[in-house]
């Protein structure tokens, strides 16, 4: 029995109690939940339904809990129900009901853990969005791992998600990039406000290979060639490195397109319609202070140039016009000040900034070797890049390490720890369970132990304490996925895999032998435990997939 199935049983019992007592069914929720108690001695699951309903129907909570317990105690699969404290219901399942979960998980396969909790939500999720003036640095890599995991979680809970990378390919930073490439091609020092690093020379050389005549042009024309060709090459490199990292976007959106298609004028007109635009000192302003911003924002300067903020407004409107009800943007630690102005901007368009716009801030990441931070990239010169991280610890470890922590916490990634083939390496600890469960299944087949049909599965044999503990851990997975999606916290999946599933499986494996010894006859208990082994493999694989990490069959 899954937690969702038990919750349905609890609600059915509540309906029966209300019928018997003549209570108003309107007080009953459409659905309820059961939770795993912190103390295993308090039962398999707990419900607070009696406490929730007591005031609504005017029945003391313990009296209502007693009626619910009596009704629940007659439900198939429920072994016992105890009343605790002011009206908690502590529920124990019989072994057969608890063990059936192994069959449910194995038969569900990749679908186990998925739900329709966020069905109907259309979400645009923008992450990474690094300027195309250099390789993706380690801060952007964090958002690549977390953002991709979050997109998987949102889809697993029924949301319609469009992932998006915004290329800031218009503005002064692109001009500095082009000047830097031109200087490198001429063998000159980079401009004082330009970009350094070996990659600038590499890209400049590639542009020259494509356009051998570029240095015969006037500087203005040559700079334009380096801008167009250089940005395209940087685009390709960023997309390729992210693809190698397992991250693909549904949409790569160019800022320049907003300008070329006149979308900044469209956004300005829409904001004027809302009455939030005014002119002052020759410039065009947006009255964001009406919605909590610390100052009004310039949309168009007195010289006629658009501001970056105007492009932000146009880009937000473009997303909303494409039908996305919620716009989620992931930004680095240095963008915390953007939250107020962006929320105010959404309100200026007439949107609800709490409903339609969500901004997540990620903190800094450091890569450590021998306890000291690495500060210089071999290629970028000033920052640690995606390639540096992957070269140091690999794709799986990188993605797991970056997604394992709450995004609002700084991370120190110790190269020695994350490359160690021991249990203190979190990704190794979890992947080892994936490999061990696959190994058990292979070895079982070699000795003639097969899972068999569901009709032959005897779940009531899974009565050992460690089997029950593992079953309860596996039962939590759908709720963990739903909570991680709703709270935008993929790290909950990683911690669950480590602390609940992997830890419980190791204790099960040490105490409950799956394979027969020597010439021992294969029994129904061996088969039941193989179902549980395979259910564990399913949950580990599904959880790792949500993090974009592989579930190896051998290590």
CATH of the domain at 516: 1.10.730.10
Look up the domain containing 484 and give its range: 422-547
**Bigger pLDDT: 182 vs 197:** 182
Q: How far apart are CA 536 and CA 473, in angstroms?
A: 9
Q: The CATH number of the domain where 276 resides is what?
A: 3.40.50.620
Q: Assess whether 164 and 188 both reside in one domain.
A: no
Helices (H), 376-425: 386-393, 395-403, 415-418
Helices (H), 322-393: 338-348, 353-356, 386-393
Q: Assess whether 272 and 301 both reside in one domain.
A: yes
Q: Quick count: other Cβ atoms within 10 Å of Cβ 369?
A: 12
* Beta pairing, strands 88-93 & 122-126: unpaired
* Cβ pair 100, 471 in contact under 8 A: no
* Cβ pair 277, 309 in contact under 8 A: no
Q: Assess whether 161 and 33 both reside in one domain.
A: no
Q: Assess whether 238 and 260 both reside in one domain.
A: no
Q: Assess whether 204 and 139 both reside in one domain.
A: no
- Residue 110, pLDDT above cutoff 90: yes
DSSP output for 82-149: EEETTTEEEEEE-HHHHHHHHHHHHHHGGGTT---TTTT-EEEEE-----TTSPPBHHHHHHHHHHHH
* Cβ pair 542, 112 in contact under 8 A: yes
Question: Angle of helix 338-348 relative to helix 308-321, nearest 10 degrees?
Answer: 50
pLDDT value at position 378?
A: 60
* 435 within a domain of the structure (yes/no): yes
Both tokens of 381, joined, read 């010169």
* 50 within a domain of the structure (yes/no): yes
DSSP output for 183-238: HHHHTPPPPTTS--SHHHHHHHHHHHHH-TTGGGS-HHHHHHHHHHHHHHHHHHHH
* 229 within a domain of the structure (yes/no): yes
pLDDT value at position 336?
A: 82
- Residue 380, pLDDT above cutoff 80: no
Q: Assess whether 163 and 190 both reside in one domain.
A: no
Edge to edge, the sheet with strand 283-286 lists: 277-280, 283-286, 297-300
Residue ending a domain, choose from 245, 272, 293: 245
Q: Assess whether 471 and 541 both reside in one domain.
A: yes
Which residues in 250-282 are b (16+ Cβ under 10 Å) and which e? eeebbbbebbeeebbebbbebbeeeebbeeeee
Q: How many residues does the chain have?
A: 555
For the question of whether the overall pTM of this predicted structure is more than 0.85, the answer is yes
- Residue 553, pLDDT above cutoff 80: yes
Which residues in 286-309 are b (16+ Cβ under 10 Å) and which e? bbbeebebeebbbbbeeeeebbeb
* 141 within a domain of the structure (yes/no): yes
* 387 within a domain of the structure (yes/no): no
Q: The CATH number of the domain where 34 resides is what?
A: 3.30.1360.70
150 confidence band (pLDDT: 50, 70, 90): very high
Q: Assess whether 182 and 282 both reside in one domain.
A: no
| pLDDT tens, residue by residue, 205-256 | 999 999 999 999 999 999 999 999 999 999 999 999 999 999 999 999 989 8
| pLDDT tens, residue by residue, 45-62 | 899 999 889 888 899 989
- State the DSSP code for 35: B
Q: Assess whether 199 and 309 both reside in one domain.
A: no
Q: Assess whether 252 and 188 both reside in one domain.
A: no
Q: How far apart are CA 265 and CA 332, in angstroms?
A: 28
Q: Assess whether 160 and 178 both reside in one domain.
A: no
Query: How many structural domains are present in the chain?
Result: 4
Residue 376's closest CA among 240, 129, 196?
A: 196
pLDDT value at position 285?
A: 97
* Beta pairing, strands 277-280 & 251-254: unpaired
| pLDDT tens, residue by residue, 480-506 | 999 999 999 999 999 999 999 999 999
Q: How far apart are CA 112 and CA 107, in angstroms?
A: 9
* 391 within a domain of the structure (yes/no): no
- The distance between the two most distant Cα atoms of the chain, rounded to a whole number of Å, is 93
* 48 within a domain of the structure (yes/no): yes
298 confidence band (pLDDT: 50, 70, 90): very high
| pLDDT tens, residue by residue, 2-53 | 788 888 899 888 888 888 888 888 888 888 888 888 787 888 889 999 988 9
pLDDT value at position 382?
A: 67
Q: How far apart are CA 519 and CA 515, in angstroms?
A: 11
Q: How far is CA 180 from the centre of its chain?
A: 37
* Cβ pair 90, 66 in contact under 8 A: no
Question: Angle of helix 426-446 relative to helix 395-403, nearest 10 degrees?
Answer: 120
Q: Assess whether 217 and 341 both reside in one domain.
A: no
Task: Measure CA of the first residue to CA of the last residue in the chain; give whole Å.
Answer: 33
Q: What percent of the chain has pLDDT over 70?
A: 98
* 40 within a domain of the structure (yes/no): yes
Q: How far apart are CA 512 and CA 529, in angstroms?
A: 8
């Amino acid at each position: 029995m899954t937690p969702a199935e038990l919750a349905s049983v609890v609600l059915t019992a509540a309906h029966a109690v209300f019928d018997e007592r003549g209570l108003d069914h309107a007080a009953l929720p459409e659905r309820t939940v059961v939770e795993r108690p912190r103390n295993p001695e308090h039962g398999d699951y707990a419900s607070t339904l009696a406490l929730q309903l007591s005031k609504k129907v005017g029945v003391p909570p313990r009296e209502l809990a007693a009626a619910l317990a009596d009704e629940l105690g007659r439900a198939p699969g429920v072994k016992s129900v105890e009343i605790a404290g002011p009206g908690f219901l502590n529920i124990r399942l019989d072994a057969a009901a608890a063990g059936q979960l192994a069959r449910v998980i194995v038969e569900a396969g990749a679908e186990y853990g998925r739900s329709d909790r966020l069905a109907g939500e259309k979400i645009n999720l923008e992450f990474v969005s690094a300027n195309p003036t250099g390789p993706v640095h380690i801060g952007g890599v964090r958002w690549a791992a977390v953002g991709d995991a979050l997109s998987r979680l949102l889809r697993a809970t029924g949301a319609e998600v469009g992932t998006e990378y915004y290329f800031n390919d218009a503005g002064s930073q692109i001009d500095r990039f082009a000047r830097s490439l031109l200087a490198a091609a001429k063998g000159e020092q980079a401009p004082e406000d330009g970009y350094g690093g070996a990659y600038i020379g590499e890209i400049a050389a590639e542009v020259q290979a494509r356009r051998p005549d570029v240095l015969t042009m006037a500087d203005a024309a040559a700079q334009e060639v380096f801008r167009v060709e250089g940005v395209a090459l940087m685009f390709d490199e960023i997309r390729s490195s992210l693809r190698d990292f397992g991250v693909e976007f549904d949409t790569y959106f160019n800022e320049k397109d907003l300008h070329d298609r006149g979308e900044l004028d469209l956004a300005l007109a829409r904001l004027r319609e809302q009455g939030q635009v005014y002119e002052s000192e020759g410039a065009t302003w947006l009255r964001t202070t009406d919605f909590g911003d610390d100052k009004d924002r310039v949309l168009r300067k007195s010289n006629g140039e658009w501001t970056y903020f105007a492009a932000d407004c146009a880009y937000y409107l473009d997303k909303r016009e494409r039908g996305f009800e919620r716009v989620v943007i992931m930004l680095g630690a240095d963008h915390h000040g953007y939250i107020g102005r962006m929320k105010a901007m959404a309100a200026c368009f007439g949107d609800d900034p709490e409903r339609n716009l969500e901004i997540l801030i990620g903190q800094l990441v450091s890569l450590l070797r021998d306890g000291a931070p690495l500060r210089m990239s071999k290629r970028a010169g000033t920052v640690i890049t995606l390639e540096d991280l992957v070269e140091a610890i690999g794709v799986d470890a990188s993605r797991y390490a970056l997604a394992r922590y709450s995004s609002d916490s700084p991370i120190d990634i110790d190269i020695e720890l994350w490359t160690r083939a021991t249990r203190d390496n979190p990704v190794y600890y979890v992947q080892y369970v994936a490999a061990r469960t696959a190994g058990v299944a292979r070895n079982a087949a070699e000795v003639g132990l097969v899972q068999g049909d569901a009709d032959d599965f005897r779940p009531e044999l899974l009565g050992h304490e460690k089997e029950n503990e593992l079953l309860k851990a596996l039962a939590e997975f759908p709720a963990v996925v739903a909570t991680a999606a709703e709270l935008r916290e993929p790290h909950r999946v990683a911690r669950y895999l480590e602390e609940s599933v992997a830890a419980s499986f190791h204790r099960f494996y040490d105490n409950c032998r799956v394979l027969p010894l020597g010439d021992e006859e294969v029994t129904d208990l061996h088969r039941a435990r193989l179902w549980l082994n395979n259910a564990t493999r399913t949950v580990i694989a599904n959880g790792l997939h949500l993090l974009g990490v592989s579930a190896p069959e051998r290590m």
